[in-house]
Structures are given as structure tokens and as C-alpha cells.
Amino acid sequence: MNAATVARQGARGARLLAVNEFGLVSHHSAGDLPALLRRGDLVIANDAATVPASLHGTHVPTDRPIEVRLAGRLSLSPHAVRRFTVVIFGSGDYRTRTEHREPPPKLTAGDELALRSLRAVVIAVLGHPRLVELEFQHAPEEIWEGIARHGRPIQYAYVPEPLALWDTWTCIASAPVAFEAPSAGFVLDWAMLRAIRAQGARFATITHAAGLSSTGDENLDRLLPFDEPYVIPAATAALIHQTRMLGGRVIAIGTTVVRALEHCVREHGRVKAGDGLATLRLGPDSPLVVVDAIVSGMHERGSSHYELLRAFQKDSALARMTEQAEAGGYRAHEFGDGIFLSRAFRLEEMRTSA
């Protein structure tokens, strides 16, 4: 599949490939999304704004250039910004494919990193020479100022022009906590939200710190997604409970929403309002308890995003979806086309509800 090479906001010009609960594939424009909903459905999106999480600087012990990509933290609190899990590259920038990037100098605990106005120290190397925990040596307000002033959006080589920060924000972006864009939300605009409500469906949000989609290293990519903090508002938790009681579907806009909701229900036995840390990794053996369908981008086989899709449908249905997407010229990655993937029909559910 070819990658989309230009930033896009809203549904205009995008396509949507739908797979229903029986594995049947149909083709639509992205603007047709509301027509795929039913009265009583609940659509949930991630309202996280994207942080400029790529920081360039120097590995002080060797004076060699590095790029630090912020990749994880344990809390969404604006004050919890001293310690991050990060992925570090050597010299270069996004114009070089991640798998071809230079490695960083050897990193050890105690190494100082100079990142323009910010100074950070490596606390630990986390089982891979490019994955470390670092601690900024500043107060929270100074860290935010340095990130805002010197950081750039994390970007990949298939988008040739430099991205502005607002290119990575969805129309519902709120708190700046995501390291990469919750890009399934690019399908949304205010006209889309009105159409969703006109269809008799409802709309709600969570906030989830979407992490890296790729590191360029197969061994490191196997660790994705990293642990990601989230917040579920009380209103959203109440709407989920009400929707399920009345027989409506819960439709997730993006993999981060699925991960947060399914983690929460396993942790608490229900979708509970409040903070959490999503450690769950979903795949073909993961029963879905909350989410009935997902709107997502086109993802490559073997990626962590594609693995999550395997919780919704059998591999045969996903293979048909991919084959038709490739034959139809669908575009992949965050600014590309999308899918509407329903959870596969399960006969035992009908027996239980009967």
C-alpha cells in the first residue's frame, strides 16, 4: 500500500473500507462514516493533542548529535514531565527512513544529553541500546517551555514536507499528551460530528497518550505499544454503560481508545471513570469486552496496530480487507484512508442474549 504523503484534516478526499461482522467488505468515502452507524451507537474518540516530541541535541560524553523521541510517561499530570521513556537515534532527521537511521552513541546511566535549552540525564537503558529512561534537570514549566520552543512533531520519511504542530492535531484536540497523533481522529470535523448525532448516535471522548507507531528496529518494535496513561471522563463511562444496557454499539475512533477501554474493564470489571495506565497488548487471542467496532487507519501486517485489529476479525477477513485495499489504491499511515472494522459475529453471544 502506498503511504499518504500530505497532511490531511477531515474526511474530504479520504476513503473508508468497511468490514462488517460477517467479514464482508464494502467501499465508501470517509464522509459516509455516519451512515455506517445505528441509532443508539456511541462513538468514542481520543481528544489528546500532540506534543512536539522530537528533540535534537548532543550526547555530551561524545559530543555526537542525537535525536530524542519522547515515547512514554506514567501519568498525564502536567507536572509529571521530568521522567520519560524515550527512543534515541543518531545523527539525521525524519527525511531518512527510521530503519536506515544512524544508531546513537553507546548510552549508559548517568550520561548527560544537551537538548538545546534542556538538559537531561540517562537514568537507565531499558533492555535495548536505543530505549532509555531519562530525567530532565528542570522544573516542569521550564521543561514545557523547552519542548514547545525546540521540539518538532515526530515525523516519518513518507511525508516529505516538514509538519507543523497543528498538522498533527485533530479537530477535538485538547490536552497536549500524545507523542504521535491519534490519527484515526483525522476523519472527524464539526460537520461529521453533527452528522453522527443526526444519525441518532452519540459522541464522547477519552484522553490517551498515544505513543510511537514505529522505531525502525524490529526488536524494539516488538515492544510496542509501550505503557500509555489515559483518563476516562465520568460522562464517557456513564454513556458506555447506558449504551451497552440499551443494546447499542461502542465504536472506537482509533486503537488508543480500544486499548484504554479494554484495559480498564479488565482492571476494574467495568469501564470506570478516572486515570489508568494501559499495559494491555491486544491481539488475536484477546476477547473484546467493550468495543464493538473500530475506525482506524490502514496498517501494515506485523505492526502493533495491525495486531490489535486481529482482536476484531479473523486473519482471513483481514487478508481480504488488505487485498482489496491494495487493489483499490488505498493510502496507508496517519494521513491516509481508513477502515471501519466490526467485531466478528459470535454465535455464542446471540445465544447468551436470547
CA distances from 180 to 49, 106, 176, 194 (A): 9, 26, 11, 26
**pLDDT category of residue 350 using cuts at 50, 70 and 90:** very low
Q: Which of 119, 150, 181 is the last residue of a domain?
A: 150
Return d(Cα 90, Cα 157) in angstroms, integer.
16
> pLDDT, tens digit, for every residue of 142-160?
999 999 999 999 999 999 9
User: In terms of domains, do 220 and 293 share one?
Assistant: yes
User: In terms of domains, do 194 and 328 share one?
Assistant: yes
Instruction: Name the DSSP letter for residue 313.
Output: S
Collapsed DSSP state (helix, strand, coil) of residue 297: strand
Mean pLDDT of 168-186: 97
176: pLDDT strictly greater than 60: yes
Does residue 212 form part of some domain? yes
User: In terms of domains, do 260 and 317 share one?
Assistant: yes
User: In terms of domains, do 303 and 173 share one?
Assistant: yes
353: pLDDT strictly greater than 50: no
Rounded to the nearest integer, the mean pLDDT of the chain is 95
> pLDDT, tens digit, for every residue of 249-304?
999 999 999 999 999 999 999 999 999 999 999 999 999 999 999 999 998 888 89
Number of domains in the chain: 2
User: In terms of domains, do 124 and 173 share one?
Assistant: no
Q: Is the peptide bond preceding residue 34 cis, with omega within 30 degrees of 0?
A: no
Return d(Cα 287, Cα 276) in angstroms, integer.
20
Global pTM reads 0.95
The CATH number covering residue 219 comes to 3.40.1780.10
What does DSSP say about strands 2-3 and 131-136: parallel, antiparallel, or unpaired? unpaired
Does residue 157 form part of some domain? no
Task: Kindly report the number of other CB atoms within 10 A of residue 44's CB atom.
Answer: 27
Q: Which of 100, 116, 150 is the last residue of a domain?
A: 150
- Which domain does 121 fall in, by range? 54-150
The CATH number covering residue 58 comes to 2.40.10
User: In terms of domains, do 64 and 40 share one?
Assistant: no
Return d(Cα 288, Cα 96) in angstroms, integer.
38
**pLDDT category of residue 1 using cuts at 50, 70 and 90:** confident
User: In terms of domains, do 174 and 296 share one?
Assistant: yes
Cα 346–chain centre separation: 27
| Residue 150 grid cell | 525546540
Return d(Cα 88, Cα 125) in angstroms, integer.
11
User: In terms of domains, do 181 and 241 share one?
Assistant: yes
Does residue 247 form part of some domain? yes
Return d(Cα 342, Cα 292) in angstroms, integer.
6
Return d(Cα 119, Cα 176) in angstroms, integer.
21
User: In terms of domains, do 87 and 142 share one?
Assistant: yes
User: In terms of domains, do 338 and 192 share one?
Assistant: yes
